[in-house]
């Protein structure tokens, strides 16, 4: 049994390294992105093997799913930008593509014959990257192999340490929840989580500051299948998200996984959009995006003045407070992920 | 020997190898998308070292290391999304998704073949 | 004991279908046949694996979750296969590289 598991570990690690290598050595960006998504899914299996089901959930939903969607839509945008005839010599940043124009080349009005294949060729050329030049090959190889050797030597000589697991187990009764990771995230080390929510918020604000959003360049082929599937999957995704949020207090799950599932549902809706979706009210959107960090901070400050200390809660109130914070965090993470996928502010904000 | 190769011992080595592989890609490839992928693979290597060490021994795995990794994954996806937005913006300004030396305008009409 | 044996048989049969689907993905010449092999064989393979795991489930909630996973993968797989095929149909033929 042990030998079989060991074989599995070796095959999995070899697969991970092989997929990562093929991904980084690829000259075709689309292939690299697909291999990266595969890498994320294999990584989720590795996390299960390392007894980390929470991380495996997050990796499959965020690392493979959301990152993959973001990468694919970025490739479409790059293809769109690079295929545009570049005759304008002014230094102004090019205006975002006209939504009306991008509607015209929707697949419904697909060009036929030569034009289509030429456009496809140009698109593929925009999404390729020449292999790395031979110059400097050996020095890079020596440096990275040396670094890997040093890291492995350090890891091999490391003393075994039980870590913080006994400490966490000892204090679980005051944390307000029954799941170690949620207790660490939202009680023992709530600073990390607050800063992480701030980081998500900053990434969203950074993307918004880069300008107005253009229409998503690629539209799925019209037809009843995708809207039908979305109609089927959306309620399930919402129930799953809420279930994960609730399950986080006693089992693998929590705000990040729930936010990722809901964000993925949002991305699916914005991709399928059987009819053009109206832009959300900017004020509501801003409140939603900042809700997680602000709610967390407000409750943390309440802890400073009325409770034990900053970002600390009395143990009898810990469960409801953690649930409130997690709900806000789920909402913010989901909205920010969808906003990052759509990219940029909505045009309504400028008016 | 076989008995000592539990996942907690084996996977950190794999993580170190992934980190080095990602670093190699980061140095060697020029396209920004590939560089973003390389940084993500380096990050996955770090997560693997973390979780591997957390899973050592017979006790339940260290929840602090797992919580930090969970935080790290969400931060990684945010940073990746922002980097991708910056890449699209750069391509919109210069027409290329690689970092070229010098001010932006000089590259606007040049066509380096190592795109 | 019987349940364990059945689980082993069902999961192994499922894995055989997965292997066949993967073989089809690697060996078949174009998008349509590859999709055909992958979706058909993998859906059946996953069904067998899920059925095998249901025999090990601890309660009705677990059985329901496993069934839900299978249904969702069926829906998502069918949608994705349809979209890949339609995209290939409207945007020119798939060309084999190498």
CA distance C62 to chain A (A): 14
pLDDT band of residue B104 (cuts 50, 70, 90) is low
Q: Which positions in chain A touch C82 (Cβ < 8 Å)?
A: 223, 225
Question: Is B28–A185 a contact, with Cβ atoms under 8 angstroms apart?
Answer: no
DSSP chain C: -HHHHHHHHHHHHHHHHHHHHHHHHHH-SSHHHHHHHHHHHHHHHHHHHHHHHHTT-SSHHHHHHHHHHHHHHHHHHHHHHHHHHHHHHHT-------
Q: Which residue's entry shows tokens 């400050």?
A: A301
Of A120, A225, A236, nearest to C82 by CB-CB distance is: A225
Contact A16, A39 (CB under 8 A): yes
Q: How many CB pairs under 8 A join A and C?
A: 35
Rounded to whole angstroms, the Cα distance separating A84 from A102 reads: 12
Window B:96-115, CB contacts with A under 8 Å? 97, 104-105, 108-109, 113-115
pLDDT of residue C51 exceeding 90, the answer is: yes
pLDDT band of residue C8 (cuts 50, 70, 90) is very high
Nearest 5 degrees, angle CA C24-CA B37-CA A257? 80
pLDDT band of residue A90 (cuts 50, 70, 90) is very low
Q: Which positions in chain B touch A132 (Cβ < 8 Å)?
A: 28-30
Domain ranges of chain A: 1-85+117-129, 173-351
Q: In chain B, what are the domains?
A: 7-107 (1.10.287.3510)
- Chain A contact for B90, CB < 8 A? no
Q: For residue A212, what are the contacts with CB-CB under 8 A and spacing of at least 6?
A: A96, A344, A345, A346, A347, A350
Query: CB neighbours (10 Å) of residue C54?
Result: 18
Q: Do chains B and A touch (3 or more CB pairs under 8 A)?
A: yes
The residue with greater pLDDT, C94 or A66, is: A66
Residue of A nearest to C93 (CA): A117
Question: Is B78–A203 a contact, with Cβ atoms under 8 angstroms apart?
Answer: yes
Domain ranges of chain C: 2-90
Q: For residue A70, what are the contacts with CB-CB under 8 A and spacing of at least 6?
A: A340, A341, B77, B80, B81, B84
Question: Is A50–B92 a contact, with Cβ atoms under 8 angstroms apart?
Answer: no
Q: Which positions in chain A touch C42 (Cβ < 8 Å)?
A: none
Complex prediction ipTM? 0.88
Neighbours of chain B (3+ CB pairs under 8 A): A
Cross-strand bridge partners of residue A28 = A128
pLDDT band of residue A36 (cuts 50, 70, 90) is very high
How many angstroms from the chain centroid is the CA of residue A39?
14
Range among A218-227, B3-12, B75-84 with highest mean pLDDT value: B75-84
Contact A337, A263 (CB under 8 A): yes
- Please tell me the predicted confidence (pLDDT) of residue C19: 93
pLDDT of residue A113 exceeding 50, the answer is: no
pLDDT per position as a tens digit, A164-219: 888 888 888 888 888 888 888 888 888 889 999 999 999 999 988 887 666 665 56
pLDDT of residue C47 exceeding 90, the answer is: yes
Question: Is A163–B62 a contact, with Cβ atoms under 8 angstroms apart?
Answer: yes
- Chain A contact for B1, CB < 8 A? no
pLDDT band of residue A44 (cuts 50, 70, 90) is very high
DSSP A196-236: HHHHHHHHHHHHHHT-BPPPPS--PPPSSHHHHHHHHHHHH
Window B:3-32, CB contacts with A under 8 Å? 3, 5, 7-8, 10-14, 16-25, 27-31
Among A8-17, A105-114, A182-191, B95-104, name the one with the lowest average pLDDT: A105-114
Dihedral sign of CA atoms C33, C34, C39, C40 in order:
positive
- Chain B contact for A144, CB < 8 A? yes
pTM, rounded to two decimals: 0.86
Contact A211, A345 (CB under 8 A): yes
Nearest 5 degrees, angle CA A94-CA A96-CA A99? 145
Question: Is A81–B63 a contact, with Cβ atoms under 8 angstroms apart?
Answer: no
- Please tell me the predicted confidence (pLDDT) of residue A109: 36
| Average per-residue pLDDT for chain A | 81
- Chain A contact for B74, CB < 8 A? yes
pLDDT per position as a tens digit, A117-144: 555 555 556 678 878 778 888 999 999 9
Cross-strand bridge partners of residue A345 = A212
Query: CB neighbours (10 Å) of residue A287?
Result: 14
Contact B23, B35 (CB under 8 A): no
pLDDT per position as a tens digit, A280-320: 777 888 898 899 899 999 988 888 888 777 888 887 888 88
Contact B82, A203 (CB under 8 A): yes
pLDDT band of residue A71 (cuts 50, 70, 90) is very high
Phi, psi of A212 (to 5 degrees): -75, 150
Report the pLDDT averaged over residues A88-99: 41
pLDDT band of residue C90 (cuts 50, 70, 90) is confident
Of B54, B76, B86, nearest to A163 by CB-CB distance is: B54
**Interface with chain A: mutation pick from B69, B84, B93, B99, highest number of A CBs within 10 Å:** B84
Phi, psi of A97 (to 5 degrees): -55, 145
């Amino acid at each position: 049994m042990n030998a079989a598991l060991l074989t599995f570990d070796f095959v999995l690690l070899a697969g991970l390294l092989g997929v990562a290598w093929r991904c980084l050595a690829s000259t075709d960006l689309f292939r690299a992105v697909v291999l990266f998504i595969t890498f994320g899914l294999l990584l989720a299996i590795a996390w299960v093997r390392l007894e980390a089901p929470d991380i495996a959930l997050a990796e499959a939903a965020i690392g493979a799913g959301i990152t993959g969607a973001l990468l694919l839509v970025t490739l479409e945008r790059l293809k769109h930008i690079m295929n545009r005839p570049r005759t304008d010599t002014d230094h102004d940043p090019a205006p975002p593509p006209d939504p009306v124009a991008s509607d015209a080349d929707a697949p419904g009005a697909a060009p036929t014959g030569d034009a289509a294949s030429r456009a496809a060729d140009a698109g593929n050329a925009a999404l390729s990257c020449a292999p790395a030049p031979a110059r400097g090959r050996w020095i890079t190889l020596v440096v990275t192999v040396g670094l890997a050797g040093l890291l492995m030597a350090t890891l091999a000589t490391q003393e075994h340490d039980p870590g913080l697991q006994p400490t966490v187990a000892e204090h679980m009764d005051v944390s307000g929840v029954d799941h170690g990771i949620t207790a660490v995230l939202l009680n023992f080390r709530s600073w990390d989580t607050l800063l992480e929510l701030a980081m998500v918020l900053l990434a969203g604000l950074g993307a918004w500051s880069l300008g107005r959003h253009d229409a998503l360049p690629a539209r799925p082929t019209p037809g009843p299948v995708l809207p039908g599937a979305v109609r089927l999957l959306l309620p399930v995704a919402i129930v799953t998200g809420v279930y994960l949020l609730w399950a986080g207090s006693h089992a693998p799950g929590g705000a990040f996984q729930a936010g990722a599932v809901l964000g993925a549902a949002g991305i699916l809706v914005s991709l399928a959009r059987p009819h053009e979706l109206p832009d959300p009210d900017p004020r509501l959107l801003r409140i939603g995006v900042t809700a997680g960090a602000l709610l967390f901070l407000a409750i943390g400050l309440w802890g400073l003045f009325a409770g034990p200390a900053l970002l600390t809660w009395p143990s009898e109130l810990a469960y409801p407070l953690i649930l409130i914070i997690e709900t806000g965090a789920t909402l913010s993470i989901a909205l920010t992920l969808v906003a990052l996928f759509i990219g940029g502010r909505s045009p309504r904000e400028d008016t | 020997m076989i008995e000592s190769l539990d996942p907690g011992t084996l996977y950190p080595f794999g993580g170190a190898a992934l980190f080095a592989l990602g670093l190699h890609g980061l140095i060697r490839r020029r396209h920004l998308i590939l560089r973003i992928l390389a940084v993500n693979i380096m990050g996955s290597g770090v997560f693997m070292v973390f979780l591997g060490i957390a899973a050592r021994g017979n006790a339940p795995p260290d929840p602090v290391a797992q919580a930090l990794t969970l935080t790290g994954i969400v931060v990684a996806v945010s940073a990746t999304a922002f980097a991708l937005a910056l890449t699209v913006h750069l391509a919109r300004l210069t027409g290329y998704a690689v970092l070229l030396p010098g001010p932006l305008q000089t590259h606007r009409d040049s066509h380096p073949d190592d795109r | 004991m019987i349940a364990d044996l059945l689980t082993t048989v069902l999961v192994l049969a499922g894995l055989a279908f997965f292997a066949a689907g993967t073989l089809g993905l690697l060996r078949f010449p174009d998008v349509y046949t590859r999709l055909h092999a992958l979706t058909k064989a993998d859906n059946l393979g996953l069904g067998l694996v899920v059925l095998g795991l249901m025999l090990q489930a601890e309660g009705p909630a677990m059985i329901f979750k496993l069934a839900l996973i299978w249904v969702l993968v069926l829906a998502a797989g069918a949608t994705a296969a349809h979209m890949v095929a339609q995209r290939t149909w409207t945007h020119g033929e798939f060309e084999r590289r190498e």
